[in-house]
């Protein structure tokens, strides 16, 4: 398994998420509209942005944990059963911590 390849993917995704979070924060800090109808729409938009931010934060935590496993030399090993996490799973979800068997059962 090419650990450097997965590490680069994780680092690239972390950078993308940090940029997204910066844009979300900037959008949320914009002053509100005076019109009540526009305020309602803006509030709904803010709720969507906040949810996107929460999801991004959770993904960042998983990515940071995966990068810690890379550094520790345990990336690609399931901590639950000690088996290998398939490259196909890591290709789909590079921050995956568990193998297919442990996640489904």
pLDDT digits (tens, 9 = 90+) for 13-60: 999 999 999 988 888 887 766 776 767 778 888 888 888 889 999 999
CB 42 within 8 A of CB 32: yes
Task: Kindly tell me the burial class for residue 6, based on how many C-beta atoms sit within 10 Å of its own C-beta (0-12, 13-18, 19 or more).
Answer: buried
Amino acid 21: pLDDT: 93
| Torsion over CA: 72, 73, 78, 80 (sign) | negative
pTM for the complete prediction? 0.81
């Amino acid at each position: 398994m090419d650990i450097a390849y997965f590490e680069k993917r994780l680092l690239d995704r972390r950078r993308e998420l940090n940029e997204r979070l910066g844009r979300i924060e900037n959008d949320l800090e914009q002053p509100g509209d005076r019109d009540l109808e526009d305020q309602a729409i803006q509030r709904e938009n803010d709720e969507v942005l906040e949810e996107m931010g929460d999801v991004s934060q959770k993904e960042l935590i998983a990515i940071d944990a995966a990068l810690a496993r890379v550094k520790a030399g345990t990336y690609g090993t399931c901590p639950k059963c000690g088996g290998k996490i398939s490259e196909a799973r890591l290709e789909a979800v590079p921050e995956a911590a568990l193998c297919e068997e442990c996640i489904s059962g």
